[in-house]
């Protein structure tokens, strides 16, 4: 258990509304990631962070923004939710030393955009 929590765990929202998902970790990990999981696509990286205020885009970043003002929190914002953003969102941290790393995942947030 890498001490990762996500909130909310479930959310239903309407098209066009802003949505913010929160990832919280308690073990001072520098790297944090946001993924979405969709049937047939596996996991796709949205954004990641390599430190406070340091973020970068993943392969499916359009329509999403992130912020990291504290080490422990990594926020994912959908500025104007669309039905194509209905998905399960996972946060992950990176752990490891010596050039080899592994990821640990949070429990996920199931988002439905109606």
Binding site residues, other proteins, CB under 8 A: 31, 40-43, 45, 48, 50, 56, 58, 90, 92, 94, 99-108
**Residue 80 beta carbon to other proteins: minimum distance, rounded to whole angstroms:** 27
If the CB atoms of residues 65 and 104 are measured against other proteins, the closer one turns out to be 104
If the CB atoms of residues 84 and 101 are measured against other proteins, the closer one turns out to be 101
**Residue 42 beta carbon to other proteins: minimum distance, rounded to whole angstroms:** 4
DSSP annotation string for the chain: ---EEEE-SEEEE-TT--EEEEEEESS--S-EEEEEEETTTEEEEEEEEEETTEEEE-TT-TTEEEEEEETTEEEEEESS--GGG-EEEEEEEEE-STT--EEEE---EEEEE-
């Amino acid at each position: 258990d890498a001490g990762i929590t996500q909130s909310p765990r479930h959310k239903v929202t309407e098209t066009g509304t802003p949505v913010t998902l929160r990832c919280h970790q308690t073990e001072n990990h520098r790297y944090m990631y946001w993924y979405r999981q969709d049937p047939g696509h596996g996991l796709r990286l949205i954004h990641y962070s390599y430190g406070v205020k340091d973020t970068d885009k993943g392969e499916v970043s359009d329509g999403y923004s992130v912020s990291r003002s504290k080490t422990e929190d990594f926020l994912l914002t959908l500025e104007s939710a669309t039905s194509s953003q209905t998905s399960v969102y996972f946060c992950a941290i990176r752990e490891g030393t010596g050039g080899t790393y592994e990821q640990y995942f949070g429990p996920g947030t199931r988002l439905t955009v109606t």
